A and B are shown apart, each in its own frame.
Chain A
């Protein structure tokens, strides 16, 4: 009887064609969340903690989307932490020192110019490293290890080690906080838009399969998938909307807008933080790039068999070059979010971040042997790592032990993954 029911459930999950590996990761994440919630006496699964968690995970998640593709193509980029630091310094100096002298303090165009310059420089640095890797055939490990040292040194050089602060107020919105969140109304709008888009995409895919007379998922599975996805999206929005501004910010806001504060205080929701919105946008764009474009197809194929890709007439070197340029761009975005959150650019920003990003991609299922991995998995990996760190802080674990736990989890995740793959392959 019991076996019969689990078969029905199993058949249903197979019908949804969901990636079981990704589901396993979500399960692990939920288990970690619940464990920390219990251990911390109910502090973990609160809107406040989850909101902060999402903001803190954003820079690593942003860069992990690119690292996943780099690793899938059987390469590595060790330089992104240093690039983040260097690009952050450049963007900091441009907005806090250079542009105020040219355009005046707090000019509305400051943030755009600083951001564009940082991103463009990121692409250029990526192209420089990428050309050495793709066209001169140097191992990416060595080139980006050199980059790790070079760009960290360069970050120091920009201001001789001085911290740059404060930053432009508009630029700072990218870092989150009370100002850098979009509020309840916009958050609901984003959530509803996301649900509608998702359902339209799902309907379109089904219509296409029908047109070609391919096997379709059972309708129940489609409804289930769409329903669960929409519930998750709206649930996340509801959580972000139930985290209120701190009373100090509310008071300042009320004074500035001349609103009389009611005696019970005013509830102003944060809503989704801007860096989280950026990370989600990048996650969607990168997933699209990886699964729906020729570039993405070549990235996977290169990781599987580079020689075959070249014999098929594909310019694999140009694809690798573009990949490292993309990674440079993402390091620039990660840098912008990081310095905006800190309201300062320091030359040590992003130290060891490359390893967190690689760990996130690997926990998320990217195989260093190449050819395997997903963008969504890498982002989940980033959230999982941040959950561990935040959770251990909440529970009050010593810093050295925190590192030990994160290290063990990384190895354990890969171990479980390896065993899982071996099993499913045999089946």
Chain B
């Protein structure tokens, strides 16, 4: 997606840092996301991707930096605050309570209630049947606790929970990790649908093909810092791999604080691999 100057980004994280003990897990990272856009966050394990998005979803407090939502300063101190801003997250661990059923997980913290204030399990199950029908039409195990479900089904539940409440900003941390090829394709379709509906999506993935397939822009992280951000049409897969592995920022990308200019010797060796 081409972003024109003057557009207000949906999400704007500026100079965000977080340390665990002496380790700077996220170090002065800045990233933005526009409505109807998919921004992929890529990098090695431990590059700080998950930590950065967990700051956005309220799971971790940040040490410094600011978060703006639609141009206004956002106070996000816990997951409840983030949900208030329309930020929904699919965590890598899925974050499901294994011993309760699908509907109970989908509505955890936002239970539908009857006019007497009691849980309206039937209404919740009905909604659950609707949303799961969209994601995974073969899913019928609504009475079972989610630990009885397969990995793919559990992942569908986590995805369903994120889209059930009209998210404006969706954070997907490895959403297809446990899925087979067919289900992965379904998630891809879902991402395109949501994007068309104007939802902004942060996508963390290890699958470079998925990233090029779904994302508009790619943001590479290394050692807690941003290497650079580039539109998918402006860079090649090899250039992105170079950013991930060596931290080399190609000319078409906007370099971050951790970038090494591509004029260096490493780039030519990568060129040679082509």
Q: Which residues on A are within 8 Å of B, measured CB to CB?
A: 208-209, 211-212, 214, 288, 291-294, 296-297, 300-305, 307-315, 370-372, 425
Contacts and interface: CB of A to CB of B under 8 A. Distances in A.
A292 B118 contact: yes
B79 A300 contact: no
B99 A212 contact: no
Contacts of B109: 309, 312-314
A209 B142 CA distance: 14
12 contacts: A214-B125, A300-B104, A301-B104, A302-B97, A308-B108, A309-B97, A311-B57, A311-B79, A311-B95, A312-B79, A314-B108, A315-B80
Contacts of B145: 304
A296 to B, nearest CB: 8
B97 A304 contact: yes
B113 interface: yes
Contact of A300 (B97, B113, B125): B97
B68 interface: no
B65 to A, nearest CB: 21
Given A214-B125, A311-B95, A301 B108 contact: yes
B270 interface: no
A265 to B, nearest CB: 49
B96 interface: yes
A410 to B, nearest CB: 23
B119 A371 contact: no
Contacts of A303: 99
Interface residues of B, number: 33
A313 B113 contact: no
Contacts of B59: 311
A395 to B, nearest CB: 40
Given A313-B80, A313-B83, A308 B96 contact: yes
B122 interface: yes
B148 A309 contact: no
A300 B95 CA distance: 15
A305 B96 contact: yes
A313 B78 contact: yes
B15 interface: no
A289 B95 CA distance: 24
A301 B119 contact: no
B99 A307 contact: no
A287 to B, nearest CB: 12
B118 A311 contact: no
Nearest to B145: A304
A191 B22 CA distance: 67
Interface in B31-46: none
Contacts of B119: 291-294, 296-297
Interface string B94-116: 11111110001000111101000
B72 interface: no
A307 B94 CA distance: 11
B51 to A, nearest CB: 14
Contacts of A315: 80
A360 to B, nearest CB: 21
B145 to A, nearest CB: 8
Contacts of A208: 122
A20 to B, nearest CB: 14
Nearest to B54: A311
The 6 closest A-B pairs by CB, nearest first: A371-B99, A304-B99, A313-B80, A304-B97, A301-B97, A312-B109
A121 B128 CA distance: 43
B126 interface: yes
Given A310-B79, A311-B79, A371 B123 contact: no
Nearest to A316: B109
Contact of B104 (A297, A307, A310): A297
A315 B80 CA distance: 9
Given A313-B79, A313-B80, A313-B83, A308 B122 contact: no
B202 interface: no
Contacts of B57: 311
A211 B98 CA distance: 29
Given A293-B119, A311-B59, A371 B111 contact: no
Given A297-B104, A313-B79, 19 more contacts: A212-B125, A291-B119, A297-B100, A297-B108, A301-B104, A304-B97, A304-B98, A305-B96, A305-B97, A308-B96, A308-B108, A311-B79, A311-B89, A311-B91, A311-B95, A312-B109, A312-B110, A313-B78, A371-B97
Contacts of A305: 95-99
Nearest to A311: B95
Nearest to A370: B99
A312 B122 contact: no
Contacts of A310: 79
Of the listed residues A288, A309, A311, the one surrounded by the most CB atoms of chain B closer than 10 A to its CB is A311
Contact of B100 (A211, A214, A288, A301): A301
Nearest to A295: B119
A301 B95 CA distance: 11
Given A309-B108, A312-B79, A293 B118 contact: yes
Contact of A308 (B82, B95, B125): B95
B96 A212 contact: no
A247 to B, nearest CB: 49
Contacts of B126: 212, 214
Contacts of B104: 297, 300-301
B100 A304 contact: yes
